[in-house]
Amino acid sequence: MDTLTEQSAQHGQALYQRAKRLIPGGTQLLSKRPEMFAPGQWPPFFRSAKGVEVTDVDGRTFTDMTTMGIGACLLGYADPDVERAVIDRLQRGPMSSLNCPEEVELAEALLAMHPWAKMIRYSRGGGEAMSVAVRIARAFTRRDRVAFCGYHGWHDWYLAANLDTSSDRLDGHLLPGLAPAGVPRGLAGSALPFAYNKIDELRKIVQQHGSELAAIVMEPTRSQLPAPGFLEAVREIADKTGAVFIFDEISVGFRLHCGGAHMHYGVTPDIAVFAKALGNGVPVAAIIGTDRVMQAAQGSFISSTFWTDGLGPAAAIAVLAKMQRINLPAHIQSIGKLYKAGIERLAAKHQLPLKVGGHDVFPAISFASDQALALQTLLTVRLLDRGFLSGAAFYPCFLHQPHHVEKFLSAADEVFAELKAAIAAGDVLSRIGGDVRHSGFSRLA
């Protein structure tokens, strides 16, 4: 029998079918499931990734015009400075019975970037880091309820919002259909959502539960600009209610400002959470906050073995050092602008019902059509044929250059012409050569 490597190199799709028999859902991350792009055609596994290129297990190389590791690789794949730091720590041993000094060095570096913050805790993933932040807020306030806006992970405190059987309260927070199966029913009513830029929704929560709020949790921004005074009003409400104000910087962090989006907008939280790009592909997350709030971590049991390994902090130190040497936000903004302007131009040229939205630092596209998912799938499939990984979002990284965008747009020009013809002929589905992409969690069996 062939080895796993030999089999996978020849049969990426077959390997994914094996994975689905062994791993519930086939992957560990919803956003990496091939069904979210082009079922049966999207490359499920990669062999290597370098710069902005990914080579799959069948030996095909693609330019990544999607999310660069779901937003984790902001400096590009296999950044040499990060690699050197990680290899050095690995060769000296990534773990022992003692603590790694890198966690102190990283703490000093992060807190120097954020003068409002005085203390830090670590984890290795964004979702668990948000759970740590909420736990600290509850320990500090001795309260239970959390008001939140946006997407914050898979943990019980967040999915508890969907225990309200009258509606799927998380459907407006990026991922529709997130069933709260396995979440204790006793948490019903503990997670209270409000919509971005709708301060009156938060005020209504405060009117009903203000004295019970442990935290107000939100992303500083995701796809929308904050309305004038919105973030400041949330800060004021947190102060008045005594709730801990938590900014989730896991996705947007470092894109608008090297210290995070909250520094770009000039609004200071009590806690900020960073992950994803903090390690540029190496697992590490940081929860930073004021000393009076963070000290509450001592009053709760928050502890895990692999939060103490040396690889994550070593990577993060290298990432922060490099980010402060380069003008990262300006570069990715310029690349995103090129992408958005080019897509808009091509959509107008081919008269496609396509909308371009989001910040320049992570643009998104969508079709205003009852065949939106089919059109998106066909676009993805045809761009795969031309050597590009492409979906409904693009996260520019430091190594994306104008020539990457130009080549992508040249390929998209050809594909948009086919999309226009397919709409006119009414044969979008027959052109895909497989199933239509899924829209969210609810359709992923």
pLDDT tens per residue, range 31-88? 999 999 999 999 999 999 999 999 999 999 999 999 999 999 999 999 999 999 999 9
Residue 289's contacts (CB-CB under 8 Å, 6 or more residues apart) are 117, 118, 119, 120, 133, 136, 269, 270, 271, 272
Of 292, 261, 290, nearest to 274 (Cα)? 261
Q: What is the mean pLDDT of residues 330-351?
A: 98
Strands 46-50 and 53-56: antiparallel
In CATH, the architecture of 95-309 is 3-Layer(aba) Sandwich (3.40)
Say if residues 10 and 58 touch (Cβ distance below 8 Å).
yes
Pair of tokens at residue 9: 């190199």
Question: Is the per-residue pLDDT at 210 higher than 70?
Answer: yes
- Give the residue carrying structure tokens 């062939």: 2
Q: Which pLDDT score is estimated for 2? A: 41
Q: What is the DSSP letter of 345?
A: H
Dihedral (Cα; 247, 248, 251, 252), 10-degree rounding: 0
In the chain, domain spans: 4-77+327-443, 95-309
Q: Which pLDDT score is estimated for 178? A: 74
Pair of tokens at residue 166: 């009258």
Q: Which pLDDT score is estimated for 440? A: 62
Question: Is the per-residue pLDDT at 445 higher than 70?
Answer: no
Pair of tokens at residue 384: 């795969």
Residue 164 confidence class, pLDDT cut points 50, 70, 90: confident
Q: Check the CA dihedral 76-254-219-156 and report its sign.
A: positive
CATH class of 4-77+327-443: alpha beta
Q: Check the CA dihedral 350-352-356-362 and report its sign.
A: negative
Say if residues 152 and 295 touch (Cβ distance below 8 Å).
no
